[in-house]
Structure 1
């Protein structure tokens, strides 16, 4: 499915609360056709009578399925209305938009995924795609940081990833509680202990803007080449088609030229990192 201006009708099939602010959605297109997305792309979701919001797709591409998965955070009127909806309710979907991750660039490499907060949502799509074709990739390391233990998303999925061959998961929180016995500290504290071969490693980073600069500095200190570092700049997007200008960074439009960028190509773009 590729509809850029007119929303396609879709039905909410399933909802699963993840945290106090985020809910998982399984959505099916009413025409029973596949979304046709790449990992890292997003859709515009409409709540009729309220408006629309850009939301990352969190499921892997599935050519034989007419449903896809989202994880929605309550941040405004549209997402608040969406989180009050139930299975069977109708929504509109435009997209998919953006360039997404080019998985061909990652084949044969060791991969380090770095997710901060809700950044795990678009990364989940890529992680699942990689795990679905496990033989095409080397070692996989997944680093995930949140403010508190209550903020973690996809807890069961992370446990299942850890059980797979050559997959290492490390998590951290900024502030633990009485039940937390894991790492406490910012996400960069997870990088120094990693055993990596920098020349054959690609790093993929998704999270809040403040995180990128510090994570990239840590990765560069491990001698990972700049051209092997990828970021997803999911911010300020609105229309999805490069018309409103909300996501413009100089000559670049995040919704069209991104949201996925190679760090070496945008490191000098003002306000990008």
Structure 2
């Protein structure tokens, strides 16, 4: 399949998650394309609107769902405003999946800390669903989510469901709290003292604002998590998705091709430097 050629997909469902965040549920119109298409948690697609452009969006659905795939999107620019106007029955172009996803096999047999901030939860949803469906392969799981405002938390029912699973904890933090809130007020790293994990045998996956991920990585390493077992999903200006245009270059790597998931040792030499 030509990675530069969009494939037609139909919108088969739409959920308004918040005033500025929505989810699109898609299905390829060509059954042969659908049958041969598969993604790994952590990968992304390029969503294309004719005459408007395309935008990279993480895949937020379960990879075992053969009926549809989903994207959760925040309205921030021309392309996402156009995507927000789509309704069931509309069609768009899809390229992908692209990039390196989460290291699933390297998480097995370990405690897992999933640390996310803001809409960073979307790229980890497919991973969390993967962990929950194969719960016996992993140790204790901590889902640590931080948001700016308490009302920004998406999928509250899903968080409640995850928190009821065996040896699974959901810890929430918000910078600004209004109304009833089951978490704390403060940065997501303030939750780390509540983690009940074997840090020497813990792997962590992170997604969200880069400063948050850097602070979280340092916080976990200070508690004994090995640096090579920390993975971050990086966000950059990805346009071609195949490592040709250079817009997402990070040192010698391309986030679209070599990421978006990187281990901490891969990022550490450059992540503290201004401009990267």
The TM-score range, normalised by the shorter chain, is over 0.9
Matched with 2:225 is 224
Q: Counterpart of 2:141?
A: 140
- Deviation at residue 235 of structure 1 after TM alignment: 2.0
Q: How far, CA to CA, are the matches of 2:2 and 2:25 in structure 1?
A: 19
Return the alpha-carbon distance in structure 1 between the equivalents of residues 213 and 173 of structure 2. Answer: 16
1-structure distance, mates of 2:137, 2:160: 22
Note the C-alpha offset of 1:3.
4.4
Contact 1:28–1:66 (8 Å) recurs in 2: yes
Partner of 2:99: 98
CA distance in structure 2 between the aligned counterparts of 1:158 and 1:190, rounded to whole angstroms: 16
Contact kept? 1:3, 1:96, Cα under 8 Å: no
**Is 1:29–1:66's contact at 8 Å kept on the other side of the alignment?**
no
Tell me the distance in 2 between the aligned counterparts of 1:8 and 1:267: 37
- 1:109: how far off? 0.6
Please list, as runs of the form range in 1=range in 2, the aligned pairs for 1:175-194 lying within 5 A after superposition.
Answer: 175-180=176-181, 182-194=183-195
**Which 10-residue stretch deviates more, 172-181 or 90-99?**
172-181
For 1:39, which of 33, 38, 41 is the aligned residue?
Answer: 41
Quote the offset at 1:91 in angstroms. Answer: 0.6
Q: How many angstroms apart in 2 are the aligned matches of 1:129 and 1:136?
A: 11
Task: State the Cα distance separating 1:66 from its structure 2 match.
Answer: 4.2
Task: Report the counterpart of residue 7 of structure 2 in structure 1.
Answer: 8
Matched, 1:49 2:51: yes
Q: How many pairs does the alignment contain?
A: 271
Structure 2 residue aligned with 1:251: 252
**Alpha-carbon distance between aligned partners in 2 of 1:78 and 1:23, rounded to the nearest angstrom:** 14
Name the residue aligned to 1:82: 83
Question: In 1, Cα distance between the equivalents of 2:185 and 2:163?
Answer: 20
The structure with more helix, counted as a fraction of residues: 2
Q: 1:201 — aligned with what?
A: 202
Structure 1 Cα separation of the partners of residues 196 and 156 of structure 2: 24
Structure-1 separation of matches of 2:266 and 2:150: 35
TM-score (normalizing by structure 1): 0.95
Distance apart, 1:129 and its partner CA? 0.9
3-state secondary structure, aligned to 2:5:
strand
In 1, the alpha carbon distance for the partners of 2:156 and 2:120 equals: 14
Distance 1:266 1:181, change over 3 A: closer
After TM superposition, the structure 1 = structure 2 runs for residues 158-173 of structure 1, keeping only pairs within 5 Å, are: 158-173=159-174
**What do residues 232-273 of structure 1 show as CA deviations (whole Å, max 9, x unaligned)?**
112222220111111101210000010001102321135498
Give the alignment's Cα RMSD to 1 decimal. 1.5
Q: Deviation per CA, 1:89-123, whole angstroms, max 9, x where unpaired?
A: 00110000001112001111110000001110010
The answer to whether 1:242 aligns with 2:265 is no
Return the alpha-carbon distance in structure 1 between the equivalents of residues 214 and 57 of structure 2.
24
Per-residue CA deviations over 1:165-218 (Å, capped at 9, x if unaligned) read 111001111000133353100111111121221121101111011212211111
Structure 1 residue runs without a partner (length 5+): none
SS of the aligned residue for 1:65 comes to coil
Choose 108-117 or 190-199, whichever is displaced more. Answer: 190-199
Q: Secondary structure at the match of 2:176?
A: coil
C-alpha distance in 2 between matches for 1:204 and 1:53: 24
Q: Is the 8 A contact 2:131 2:138 kept in 1?
A: yes
